[in-house]
Amino acid sequence: MSHILGSRQAQKQKTRQAFLDAALELLEEQSLSSLGLREVTRAVGVAPTAFYRHFHSTADLGVALVEEALGSLHAMIGTTVSAAGDSEQRITRAVDLIARHVEAYPAHVRFIARERHGGVQPVREAIGAQLARFAEEVKAELAKQPESEGWGDDDLLMLAGLYVDQMLVTGSLFLETLEGDEEERERVARVATRRMRLISIGRRHWLG
Amino acid sequence: MSHILGSRQAQKQKTRQAFLDAALELLEEQSLSSLGLREVTRAVGVAPTAFYRHFHSTADLGVALVEEALGSLHAMIGTTVSAAGDSEQRITRAVDLIARHVEAYPAHVRFIARERHGGVQPVREAIGAQLARFAEEVKAELAKQPESEGWGDDDLLMLAGLYVDQMLVTGSLFLETLEGDEEERERVARVATRRMRLISIGRRHWLG
DNA sequence: AATCCCAGAGAACAGTTGTTAACTGCATGG
DNA sequence: CCATGCAGTTAACAACTGTTCTCTGGGATT
């Protein structure tokens, strides 16, 4: 099997991507559980039945969207947590990176925030699995740092989860400021930075 | 105007409550944005048109549900944060209280977690407003404590927000264990406790 | 060059949706 | 005791939904 696609499969993937894009846009003002199959095909400009050539259901489409929205983030996570500099510099850099990501992919961030606790079980599970992977990756990076000496495995995972959740909370806060002015975004960044700082201080004094 | 209701208004409130109860149950496996008006009236056992006597739309019903789910929690918040005992005792008590609340009102907790970032703007705003109130109340209680000496107003609010978000995260984690066994719930409680502990340590060393 | 495959089109289905209008019957206030 | 108000009913509407079956056209395979 080759990674070179014939014009046949290439066209199929193109249509599939059109479905994902259209769905993501429609989902900015509704939830996945109310997204209709016909609604999506109408937005793409194909017949309703074409949908079944790509997905079993809208829930299936949702799971594919989870991969698209979170699958590409893993590399970023690692490099951010393991970045050079002291604690304060890493925090500033992380908050800035979240802000940029929200500006670059607002629909992705909105989708994850909305469907993490949404009404479609397979999608919730897919998001949960990805977030668990994130936590494991963050934990692995934290373990490499000298500040983690003497830490137990479960405490490291606890801290990693705290960071991951904080990342999501910060992301959705930035999301709410997207239609506002720059000053608002600055305020969110400052609060998020202080939250991370407090967590880092807690980490530093965790033992003993 | 009297607070004693005639049988007329009493029956109306009864029906209204039936709408809220039915909707809350239907919302356990879907989102508000996919909740149909007819679906609700069918569950209650009344004609579709009866709905309009109580709500303009399902979004309106959602806002009413926010009041029901969060309105009664304010008293609890205050007494919990300002409870006697040292930091560790207060954390244990808070986590236990969250666990009990989730067991007592799982549908309420699920609704808030789901619709906080859900697809219905008025509901998102209603939840956001209530959570802001919570944060203000927690801040007021924190300000009374001796540990908060020297703290700025915005730092107190930052910490309060951190606690409120942590409360929600913990709640939704407990929610996922409701169909599981006791051991699972115990594990969630332990992780949540350690998270709160780390935040408390960060708080203690925040200044200087 | 002849064949097969399959993404997408088209039409039709039974069932559902929100909203309207005009109604009925009963508790309420004068 | 009678007139009014109003919660809930009934019937009907156009529009929409997911899913099935049949068909078509052109890239892929031999």
- Please write the tens of the pLDDT for every residue from B120-151: 999 999 999 999 999 999 999 999 999 999 99
Distance of CA B197 to the CA centre of its chain: 22
Q: With contact defined as beta carbons under 8 Å apart, do B127 and B112 qualify?
A: yes
Q: With contact defined as beta carbons under 8 Å apart, do B124 and B116 qualify?
A: yes
SS3 call for A170: helix
C-alpha torsion angle, residues B128, B129, B134, B138 (rounded to 10): 100
Chain C bases closer than 7 angstroms to a protein Cβ: 6-12, 16-22, 27-29
- Any domain includes A61: no
- Any domain includes A120: yes
CATH classification of the domain holding B34: 1.10.10.60
Q: How far apart are CA B192 and CA B181, in angstroms?
A: 17
Q: How far apart are CA A76 and CA A73, in angstroms?
A: 5
pLDDT of residue A3: 60
Count up the domains in chain B and report the number.
2
Q: CA A197, A200, A203 angle in degrees (round to 5)?
A: 155
pLDDT of residue B1: 41
Q: How far apart are CA A139 and CA B44, in angstroms?
A: 49
| More reliable by pLDDT, A79 or B13 | B13
- Find the mean pLDDT for residues B38-43: 98
Whether A49 CB is under 7 Å from strand C: yes
Q: Are residues A38 and A111 in the same domain?
A: no
Q: Are residues B18 and B98 in the same domain?
A: no
Separation of B133 CA and C3 C1' (Å): 71
Q: Are residues A144 and A194 in the same domain?
A: yes
Q: Are residues B112 and B161 in the same domain?
A: yes
Contact between chains at B117 and A114 (C-beta distance less than 8 A):
yes
Give the structural domain span for A32: 7-56
Nearest chain B residue to A202 by CA: give it. Answer: B202
| More reliable by pLDDT, A6 or A171 | A171
Q: Are residues B20 and B104 in the same domain?
A: no
Q: How far apart are CA A50 and CA A115, in angstroms?
A: 25
Q: Are residues A42 and A134 in the same domain?
A: no
Q: Are residues B132 and B39 in the same domain?
A: no
Q: With contact defined as beta carbons under 8 Å apart, do B163 and B199 qualify?
A: yes
pLDDT of residue A2: 41
pLDDT of residue A108: 98
- Find the mean pLDDT for residues B75-83: 85
Q: How far apart are CA A100 and CA B84, in angstroms?
A: 43
Q: With contact defined as beta carbons under 8 Å apart, do B69 and B111 qualify?
A: yes
- Any domain includes A47: yes
CATH classification of the domain holding A175: 1.10.357.10
pLDDT of residue B80: 87
Q: Are residues A87 and A118 in the same domain?
A: yes
| Chain segment A10-51, per-residue pLDDT in tens | 999 999 999 999 999 999 999 999 999 999 999 999 999 999
| Chain segment A157-187, per-residue pLDDT in tens | 999 999 999 999 999 999 999 999 999 999 9
- Is residue B3 over pLDDT 70? no
Q: Choosing among B37, B114, B151, B207, which should be mutated to test the A contact, i.e. which has the most A CBs within 10 A?
A: B114
Q: Are residues A44 and A73 in the same domain?
A: no
- Any domain includes B62: no
Q: Are residues A104 and A200 in the same domain?
A: yes
% of chain A with per-residue pLDDT over 70 = 98
Q: How far apart are CA A58 and CA A32, in angstroms?
A: 8
